[in-house]
Amino acid sequence: MTDPQTVQDDVVVSLEYTVRLNDGSIVDSSVGREPLQFLQGHGQVIEGLEQEIHGMRVGETKKFVVTAARAYGERIPEAMEWVPRAAFPAGMDLEPGMGFRLQTASGESIVAYVREVLPDRVLMDFNHPLAGEDLHFEVTITGLRAATSEELAHGHVH
Is the overall model pTM greater than 0.85, yes or no?
Answer: no
Helix (H, G, I), strand (E, B) or coil at 157: coil
Task: Give dist(CA 135, CA 72) in Å, integer.
Answer: 10
One domain for residues 65 and 37: yes
One domain for residues 86 and 108: yes
Residue 84 maps to which CATH number? Answer: 2.40.10.330
| Total domains present in the chain | 2
Residue 147, domain extent:
11-72+132-154
Cβ proximity of 23 and 11 under 8 Å: no
Q: Is pLDDT above 90 for 71?
A: yes
Q: Characterize 106-135 residue by residue with b for buried, 16 or more Cβ atoms within 10 angstroms of its Cβ, and e for exposed.
A: eeeeeebbbbeeeeeebbbbbbbebbebbb
One domain for residues 20 and 62: yes
Q: What is the pLDDT of residues 14-40, one digit of tens each?
A: 999 999 999 999 999 999 999 999 999
| Domain assignment present for 1 | no
How many CB atoms lie under 10 A from the CB of residue 42? 17
Q: Name the nearest CA neighbour of 124 among 71, 84, 75.
A: 84
| Domain assignment present for 3 | no
| Domain assignment present for 22 | yes
| Domain assignment present for 31 | yes
